[in-house]
């Protein structure tokens, strides 16, 4: 019992050669900097992860504008799914390159002028248009903090940054309805508990009309496409800006959405 408790409270197994925390420090968490695997990393014990997962799930439902809570939920519950996703990426040549080079989709890394100059209907153009119409920016994504593996921390960061690409690919706006559709697609593609929970519980906050359309048309479409498409995280989007969106959709087997989901004001 005591060993179980100790295991629940220990933040993470220190690498071999390191002395583990002393018993009285056990309850107090790690020393500053100890066990930190990447700049924003906050090592957490299994107990803390459970509390964070429960708390963030509750808070995200209570206040859907707390996007940071959705992120925390993803990080604290996604370890297994992230491993599977990472292994999938490793097996694919384009995915493996992404893991190697670790590209980031940020305003600082995007050449906006170049993207704007691209032909109409290209991925780059459509992505920019999506950002404009929905008034979002790629830089609002919080950095990963609670994933205790440096490579997986990148994988979830990549997942977040690709999320906007998926909106563009699926033609879904960033309102509640659009987000839920993308979550269903992502849930099928990644198996991340956060996506599954978001897909299942997100609709609670929808009005009945949206709910009807969601259940009868949009979810089946999202699930079908999610199943049919190869792993969308294996695409090096940064090298495909010129590719016409239509062609990319065909490549992935993504059909047009059954209806136009408008970006509400």
The answer to whether the CB of 170 falls within 8 A of the CB of 222 is yes
Q: Is 132 annotated as a binding residue?
A: no
- Which stretch in 41-49, 116-124, 171-179, 212-220 sits in contact with another protein by CB under 8 A? 41-49
45: tokens are 């014990």
Of 10, 69, 158, 240, the one binding another protein by CB under 8 A: 69
The answer to whether the CB of 26 falls within 8 A of the CB of 10 is yes
Q: Which is nearer to another protein, 48 or 97 (CB)?
A: 48
The answer to whether the CB of 137 falls within 8 A of the CB of 107 is yes
Question: DSSP H helical segments within the chain, as ranges?
Answer: 2-9, 23-26, 46-62, 67-77, 79-91, 93-101, 112-117, 123-134, 150-170, 176-190, 193-201, 208-213, 219-228, 245-252
Establish if 104 lies at the interface with another protein (CB under 8 A): no
CA proximity to 256, closest of 232, 224, 231, 215: 224
Q: Is 164 annotated as a binding residue?
A: yes
Establish if 7 lies at the interface with another protein (CB under 8 A): no
Establish if 9 lies at the interface with another protein (CB under 8 A): yes
Establish if 28 lies at the interface with another protein (CB under 8 A): yes
**Which of the residues 120 through 149 are near another protein (CB under 8 A)?**
145
* Shortest distance (Å) from residue 42 CB to another protein: 6
Of 14, 48, 90, 136, the one binding another protein by CB under 8 A: 48
Q: Is 97 exposed, middle or buried (0-12, 13-18, 19+ CB in 10 A)?
A: middle
Establish if 42 lies at the interface with another protein (CB under 8 A): yes
Supply angle C-alpha 252, 217, 255, rounded to 5: 20
* Shortest distance (Å) from residue 44 CB to another protein: 8
**Phi and psi at residue 122, to the nearest 5°:** -80, 160
Q: Is 163 annotated as a binding residue?
A: yes
State the number of binding residues for another protein (CB under 8 A): 21
Establish if 45 lies at the interface with another protein (CB under 8 A): yes
Establish if 55 lies at the interface with another protein (CB under 8 A): yes
Residue ranges in contact with another protein by CB under 8 A: 9, 27-29, 31-32, 42, 45, 47-48, 51-52, 55-56, 58-59, 66, 68-69, 72, 145
List residues forming the annotated binding site for Zn(2+). 163-164, 167, 179
């Amino acid at each position: 019992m005591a060993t179980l408790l100790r295991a629940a409270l220990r933040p993470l197994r220190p690498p071999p050669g390191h002395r583990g925390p002393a018993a009285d420090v056990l309850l107090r968490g790690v020393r500053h900097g100890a066990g930190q695997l990447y700049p924003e990393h906050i090592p957490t014990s299994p107990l803390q992860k459970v509390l964070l997962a429960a708390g963030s799930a509750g808070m995200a439902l209570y206040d859907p504008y707390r996007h940071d809570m959705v992120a925390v939920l993803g990080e604290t519950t996604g370890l297994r799914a992230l491993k599977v996703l990472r292994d999938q990426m490793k097996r694919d040549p384009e995915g493996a390159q992404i893991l190697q080079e670790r590209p980031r989709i940020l305003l600082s890394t995007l050449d906006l002028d170049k993207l704007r100059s691209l032909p109409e209907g290209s991925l780059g153009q459509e992505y920019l248009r999506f950002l404009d119409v929905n008034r979002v920016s790629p830089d609002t994504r919080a950095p990963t903090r609670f994933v205790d593996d440096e490579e997986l921390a990148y994988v979830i960061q990549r997942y977040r940054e690709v999320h906007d690409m998926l909106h563009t690919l699926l033609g879904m706006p960033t309102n509640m309805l659009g987000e839920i559709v993308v979550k269903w697609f992502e849930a099928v593609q990644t198996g991340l508990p956060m996506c599954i929970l978001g897909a299942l519980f997100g609709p609670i906050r929808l009005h009945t009309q949206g709910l009807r359309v969601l259940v009868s048309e949009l979810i089946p479409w999202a699930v079908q496409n999610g199943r049919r498409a190869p792993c969308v995280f294996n695409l090096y989007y940064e090298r495909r800006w010129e590719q016409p969106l239509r062609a990319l959709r065909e490549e992935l087997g993504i059909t047009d959405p059954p209806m136009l989901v408008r970006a509400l004001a």
